[in-house]
């Protein structure tokens, strides 16, 4: 085995988060698994092909955008039972709108060992691109990740968007471009109409685009740009405060010289000896 060659991967199913799309944002573990796996079943409508550049040249690459769970699961099970390692490659982080619960249930019922490997989610990539902290002291300390109800997934009544918006937290809205008018209306019941909204399209993909618009233009921009999928909306008091300069010199107490905690207290004790 050469110095750079990875050892064979233990047969099993690895449910891996591909991150938002940029191959550089794959975790080290995800890169290693993709480089070792015998077969990769990838959600090709949600994960760009560029992420696959780290895969083995002789790996079996299977796109699944046009397949149902009833078609995908037998493929994973068959390859495992043939002694192969399988990566099920999801976009973002698998635990967030990844529809992995039913996959885990079926794999467990079939006695197939599996592992979940987290990935960076779109809201994290968006905050980095926007150069904004979504949790600013005394301004906003909560991040809500949610969506509007769709044909495939209904949102519980207790988590209806209007109720969540009432918190005026940093709200990250997934999978909602198709219901953008309804979403805007409910958001405007609680956020001012001039609240900045970041509309993030295909973050990490080669054709990534980000628009920063007032809340009352959220639906108009979505329609003008013909956005229907792979779109994330970020609505946050931090965006508004950043745009107006309201944040100023505001800072957390964590690294403030006036703030003492156990590690800094011990360091000061040593310095005084």
What Cα–Cα distance (Å) separates residue 37 from each residue in 34, 200, 242, 273? Answer: 5, 32, 44, 56
pLDDT digits (tens, 9 = 90+) for 80-110: 999 999 999 999 999 999 999 999 999 999 9
Query: For the chain, what is the radius of gyration of the CA atoms?
Result: 22
Check: CB of residue 13 under 8 Å from CB of residue 84. Answer: no
Domains 12-117 and 122-244 share a fold: no
Tokens 């690459």 sit at which residue?
Answer: 61
Region for residue 12 given its phi and psi (left: phi exceeds 0; alpha: psi -120 to 50; beta: otherwise): left
Q: Determine the pLDDT at residue 2.
A: 44
Which residues lie below 8 Å from residue 176, measured CB to CB, with a gap of 6+? 147, 148, 183, 231, 233
Distance CA 52, CA 57 (A): 10
Tell me the two tokens of residue 209.
């685009």
Q: Determine the pLDDT at residue 240.
A: 80
Q: What is the CATH number of domain 122-244?
A: 3.30.950.10
Q: What is the CATH number of domain 12-117?
A: 3.40.1010.10
Sign of CA dihedral 97, 77, 116, 23: negative
Instruction: State the DSSP code for 92.
Output: B
Q: State the CB neighbour count (10 A cutoff) for residue 135.
A: 15
pLDDT digits (tens, 9 = 90+) for 8-18: 789 999 999 99
Domain assignments of the chain as residue spans, ordered by start: 12-117, 122-244
Q: pLDDT means per 10 residues in the chain (273 residues)?
A: 65 96 96 96 95 94 95 96 97 95 95 97 96 92 94 86 96 96 96 95 95 97 95 94 64 60 58 57
Check: CB of residue 39 under 8 Å from CB of residue 84. Answer: yes
Q: Determine the pLDDT at residue 151.
A: 72
């Amino acid at each position: 085995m050469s110095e750079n060659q990875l050892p064979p991967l233990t047969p099993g199913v690895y449910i891996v988060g591909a991150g938002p799309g940029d191959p550089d944002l794959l975790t080290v573990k995800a890169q290693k698994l993709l480089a070792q796996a015998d077969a990769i079943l990838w959600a090709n409508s949600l994960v760009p092909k560029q992420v696959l550049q780290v895969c083995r040249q002789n790996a079996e690459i299977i796109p699944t955008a046009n397949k149902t769970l009833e078609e995908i699961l037998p493929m994973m099970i068959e390859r495992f039972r043939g002694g192969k390692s399988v990566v099920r490659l999801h976009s973002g982080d698998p635990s967030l709108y990844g529809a992995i619960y039913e996959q885990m249930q079926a794999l467990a019922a079939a006695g197939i060992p599996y592992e979940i490997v987290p990935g960076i989610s779109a809201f994290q990539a968006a905050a980095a691109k926007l150069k904004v902290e979504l949790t600013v002291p005394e301004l906003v300390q909560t991040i809500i990740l949610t969506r509007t109800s769709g044909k495939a997934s209904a949102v519980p009544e207790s988590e209806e968007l209007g109720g969540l918006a009432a918190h005026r937290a940093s709200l990250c809205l997934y999978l909602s471009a198709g219901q953008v008018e309804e979403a805007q209306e409910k958001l405007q019941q609680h956020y001012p109409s001039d609240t900045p909204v970041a509309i993030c399209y295909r973050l990490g993909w080669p054709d990534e685009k980000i628009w920063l618009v007032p809340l009352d233009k959220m639906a108009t921009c979505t329609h003008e740009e013909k956005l229907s999928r792979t779109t994330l909306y970020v609505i946050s008091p931090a965006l508004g405060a950043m745009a107006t300069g309201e944040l100023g010199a505001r800072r957390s107490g964590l690294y403030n010289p006036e703030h003492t905690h156990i590690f800094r207290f011990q360091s000061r004790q040593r310095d005084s000896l």
